[in-house]
Amino acid sequence: MHGVAIGPGKAALLEIISITGSLSEASRVLDMSYRTAWQLITSMNDSFASPLVTLTKGGSSGGGAALTERGWAVLDVYKDMDQKARDAVAEGAKQLEALMRS
């Protein structure tokens, strides 16, 4: 068992990696330690049939991180599920808001 394969934090990490091309930059943007970000990527890579992110070690040209084809697919499915969940509760949220104190 790998715990939660994908959730809001992991999806955000994938999204920022897709923009920056860097795990260290993504960890800075998300205000998390590099170690935590690396552990999240390792967890996701281990949870799916093939890796979601490829990491290249630093050196003279620097390191990098990139979403794989499966990484893009997982991120797309997660974002779609998230939007559907938001849509499903939107009316109830409006009703609760109307019942709250002003």
Smallest CA-to-CA distance from 3 within 50, 46, 32 is with 46
Q: What is the pLDDT of residue 2?
A: 52
Write down the pLDDT at residue 4.
Answer: 74
> Closest Cα partner for 82 from 10, 30, 7, 18?
7
Residue 101, pLDDT score: 81
- pLDDT number for residue 1: 45
Locate 70 and state its tokens: 């499966």
Q: In the chain, what are the domains?
A: 8-99 (1.10.10.10)
The dihedral through the CA atoms of 48, 50, 54, 56 has a sign that is: positive
Alpha helices (runs of H) in the chain, residue ranges in sequence order: 8-20, 23-29, 34-47, 69-99
Q: What is the DSSP letter of 7?
A: -
**Any residues with CB less than 8 A from the CB of 12 and at least 6 apart, and which?**
30
Interval 45-102: pLDDT, tens: 999 999 999 998 876 666 799 999 999 999 999 999 999 999 999 999 999 999 998 6
What is the model's pLDDT at position 63? 76
Name residue 65's beta-bridge partners. Answer: 55
Tens digit of pLDDT for each residue in 3-34? 678 999 999 999 999 999 999 999 999 999 99
